[in-house]
Amino acid sequence: MGTATLLRIDRDRLQQRLDGLASIGRLPDGGVWRIAYSDEDLAARQWVTAAMQAAGMTVTIDAAGNLIGRYAGTEDLPALATGSHIDTVPTGGRYDGALGVLAGIEAVATLHEAGRRLRHAIEVIAFTDEEGEMIGSKAMAGTAKLSDPEHFRRLNGEAIQPCLERVGGNWAALPSARRTDQDIAAYLELHVEQGGVLESEQCQIGVVQGIVSLQRFQVAITGRPNHAGTTPMHLRQDALYAASLLVAAVHDVAVDIPGDQVATVGLLTVAPNAANIVPGRVELTIDMRDLSLETLGAMVEGLKQRIVAIQASTGTQIELRPQHFVEPTLASPAVQGAIAAVCDDLNLTHYSMPSRAIHDAQEIGRFTQMGMIFVPSQAGVSHAEDEYTSPEQCGQGADVLLHTLMALDEQLDSATHD
């Protein structure tokens, strides 16, 4: 890396930016409410635009409302892109998404103040509505459902068209937001881990292998409601008992297969839900995730076999309905290697791991080389007011981001995209 190792981001300024953005939509308990398309989101966009311009970038907004800061390169090459999102869940933290955008701005500011430009332009992107339907990254990847605006209707009933117009986008022109690898040579996203693996492994940086596939099911278990006192145990068709066996089966199909796959029952409703009635119906959701579609398929097949056995032993009927499926996106081996090499040069410990949460990188990685850098989340907490990553950890991640962009600038050339 030579003299490039002398470049470091300004950690104090990065922390000031994180504090400044967190003040927009701050809740009394210290959390952040900055829902996409809200007045708070609009104010944050204006704040980020000013920060991008101060760092030497020109700023545009595409038809999906993506806020794009561009720092020109010295050659006519596809850009190196970085970023994340600035919208939050209703009771979010100050690091989820925001760190990736602000660290990208800080990386460009560091280059700008040093009077340096890379061969490739750098684009810092704040994607639209990551916490909702991810219309920003999906439009950029060309995977948005252009024929179905209802798919993007807000939970409060508002249509997507006025929402996009509010942030400078245009539903009718949404196809124009699509990019290819001729536009973006590689995409690199810094993000807080949102889990406790790095902390438990005592590693400073996570090198993401890819973003997992997600398979979600809705399940309806139908038994027979009956009197809790007069119905003998051997004559019951207890839907909740069957559900308890199914919950255990979901756990078992995940742990019985070698690997890091996960499976969760996260929502369960019981009817009639009365103290003196044998439950007659239970509805629940099953969420399964892994990088390998083969492993995911094995989990689903194992679950189906166990469902057959549960039905036979309980006299209930179990309906398994697919609800949602997301294809996995693997990180580029070249980008993973560049991140790891930078960590070694900066004397930072690193750990190779999957991302089991969905990020904008999952969509962008469908058309160009993608990589992600994780920094630890204290106690694994995210989407909460006590989400915390220390200033030192944020700075370490931002330094890795900066130097990985510089390494990719040297490694990638136009021949890669012929």
216 assigned binding-site residue: yes
359 assigned binding-site residue: no
* Residue of 284, 241, 279 lying closest to 263 (CA atoms): 284
Say if CB 211 and CB 355 are below 8 A apart: yes
Measured CA to CA, the distance from residue 366 to residue 359 in angstroms comes to 12
Classify the C-alpha dihedral 364-331-76-98 as positive or negative.
positive
CA neighbours within 13 Å on the CB side: how many for 382? 19
Measured CA to CA, the distance from residue 130 to residue 192 in angstroms comes to 15
User: Cis peptide before 175, with omega less than 30 degrees from 0?
Assistant: no
* Residue of 107, 124, 196 lying closest to 375 (CA atoms): 196
User: In 35-165, which ranges are E strands?
Assistant: 58-61, 67-71, 79-85, 122-127
What is the 8-class DSSP label of residue 132?
A: T
85 assigned binding-site residue: yes
Token duo for residue 243: 């559900």
289 assigned binding-site residue: yes
120 assigned binding-site residue: no
Token duo for residue 303: 């679950």
Binding site members for Zn(2+): 85, 96, 131, 191, 383
Which residues make up each annotated binding site for allantoate? 216, 276, 289
Residues comprising the binding site?
85, 96, 131, 191, 216, 276, 289, 383
